[in-house]
Amino acid sequence: MAKRIVIDPITRIEGHLRIDCEIDGGKVTNAWSSGQMWRGFELILKGRDPRDAWVITQRICGVCTTVHALASVRTVENALGMEVPLNAQYIRNLIMAAHGIHDHIVHFYHLCALDWVDIVSALSADARATAKLGQSLSDWKRNSYQEIKGAQEQLQTLVDSGQLGIYGSGYWGHPAMKLSPEVNLLAATHYLQALEYQRNVNKVVAILGSKTPHIQNMAVGGVANAINLDSPSTLNMERLYKVKTLIDEANDFIKKVLLVDVAAVGAMYADWTAIGAGVTNYLAAPDMPMDTRGTTFSLPGGYIPNGDISRFTEITSFQDKFFEDNVQESIKHSWYDGDWTRHPYQGETVPKYTDFQDNGKYSWVKAPTFQGEPAQVGPLANVLTMFAAGHKPTQKYTTQMLDRVSSLVGSKVGIPALHSTIGRIAARAVRCAVLNDTMKEQWTALVNNIASNDMTTFNPPTFPSGIQQGFGYHEAPRGILSHWIIIENGKIKNYQAVVPSTWNAGPRNGKDALGPYESALLGTPVADPEKPLEVLRTIHSFDPCLACAIHLVDKENKEIVKVRAL
């Protein structure tokens, strides 16, 4: 008889995601993904000035804030048919890439690796053997005995303190943990180093965006960065070279540590290349526009149905009808009023809670579809679409990753292995390396454009009377993010955000097809239903961020928090 388990919340830090599973014969046989709080930003935005939308929408999340700011200004610019100055495009691209690298490093080491790495086991490792192992895998300068012994002592001090923080709830000693003490210690050492490198690369966002999280430099029509190479209070060469230094520091960590660690973990958990594929329709946005209208991109994107990269269709511009016409959202199984499947321009967000119903409504998250089918978004979708599009850096790093894994396991591992839980993690590392290389290109493009005496960063918008509608997309760290707007006489009439975690965490759609999380869990082995580590591995491989997909509300209308401004 099937056993029902509920994991709530399953997210390690961000948001409120509940996963229900039925387990029979040691495997997941049915699953439900449920966002447990309501997002109401669409209602907050009604009647407001479209130029304010980016400021408000980036408050959807406390982590991926820049992505909503960027998608929002692109949406309004699309509705108005605007062009954006080249300097503004490059500055936006640099912010986007730095944020993405920061996010990908945090995801692997701090949100995901603890499902695969046993921190307690690391305490019993031989530090000298660990250093020797690390140096055999990479020439990373911080794989020394002294560095690794220091990290081990740091972990021991933490354990002795009894204040374990996020380590306290780990499934340490779980039978699904396979790494040796030395491999665990090497990964734990890099976990601590990663704290430093994710913070440093995020300084690029702070330098160009004025602060992070919640950047301040975005504007409909460009950015607010003034450029004057002779002024200490504007974007000048000193700041630009600081950005260049931070890009180079991140490069070493990504190439010599992240890519190596992910390949090693992937090789040692090679059985997970056959687990967690789920929905294999992949959707990703092109990004890093290199012209003023968004028709030429440094990073391609598009759609792959049924995991067949030979059927890839490219999304070619910010005005592409192939993307605009094929997105819909269903609320058949979501806690909203009605039962419909609609295009975002016609979308509504009217809450109607009914409690958890297995065959009815059970989530605050809507169910998006592309061409009527659920689609997986995120780094795996991004890497597969860019690979299919012939993007050379993506093909290079993907091939390197697969070749490194093949060498470690002693047999050929190819592209099909990426359709899996561990494949999603590998794709994120590939995406991170591609972003770092792209940052260098964006930095050079910005400096060269400034050298041509173009200092423009902003084109002022004008709002005609009547109705305009538009959409904007961005390939965020968790996948394609799109905002949709209808403007009437200069005010927002309707606004919808279709976010990456909505695509992946969505419940069953209007045709009762399972969402990507739900589908990926089917067949997942579970050794101990009381400690469902394997379920965490698959869900965390998507990097769920439910704060983006939901918003806070109390169904009893009680006051949740009161803020007094002095």
Catalytic residues: 14, 61, 64, 68, 478, 501, 545, 548
Picking from 207, 212, 224, the residue whose alpha carbon sits closest to that of residue 103 is 212
**CA 111/CA 115 separation, integer angstroms:** 8
Identify residue 320 by its one-letter amino acid code: D
The DSSP annotation for 273-322 comes to: GGS------EEE--EEE-SSSS--EEE--EEEGGG-GGG-EE--STT-HH
The DSSP code for 115 is G
226 in helix, strand or coil?
A: coil
How would you write 403-426 as a 3-class SS string? HHHHHHHCCCCCHHHHCCHHHHHH
Q: In degrees, to the nearest 5, what angle opens at C-alpha 149 toward C-alphas 144 and 152?
A: 130
Picking from 99, 31, 81, the residue whose alpha carbon sits closest to that of residue 478 is 99
**CA 85/CA 290 separation, integer angstroms:** 10
Instruction: Answer whether 345's CB lies under 8 Å from 469's CB.
Output: yes
Cis peptide before 393 (omega within 30 of 0): no
Instruction: Answer whether 491's CB lies under 8 Å from 389's CB.
Output: no
The DSSP code for 515 is P
**CA 453/CA 450 separation, integer angstroms:** 5
Residue 463 tokens, joined: 């709002």
Picking from 70, 268, 298, the residue whose alpha carbon sits closest to that of residue 182 is 268
**CA 539/CA 553 separation, integer angstroms:** 25
The torsion angle over the Cα atoms of residues 103, 185, 250 and 499, rounded to 10 degrees, is -10
Q: How far apart are the first and last CA of the chain?
A: 59
Identify residue 98 by its one-letter amino acid code: A
C-alpha of 295 from chain center: 24
Residue 80 tokens, joined: 């108005």
**CA 462/CA 176 separation, integer angstroms:** 59
How would you write 125-194 as a 3-class SS string? CCHHHHHHHHHHHCCCCCCCHHHHHHHHHHHHHHHHHCCCHHHHHCCCCCCCCCCCHHHHHHHHHHHHHH
Phi–psi pair at 96, nearest 5 degrees: -60, -45
Does an H or E element contain 68, and which?
helix 65-80
Helix, strand and coil content of the chain, in percent to the nearest 5, comes to: 45, 15, 35
C-alpha of 186 from chain center: 25
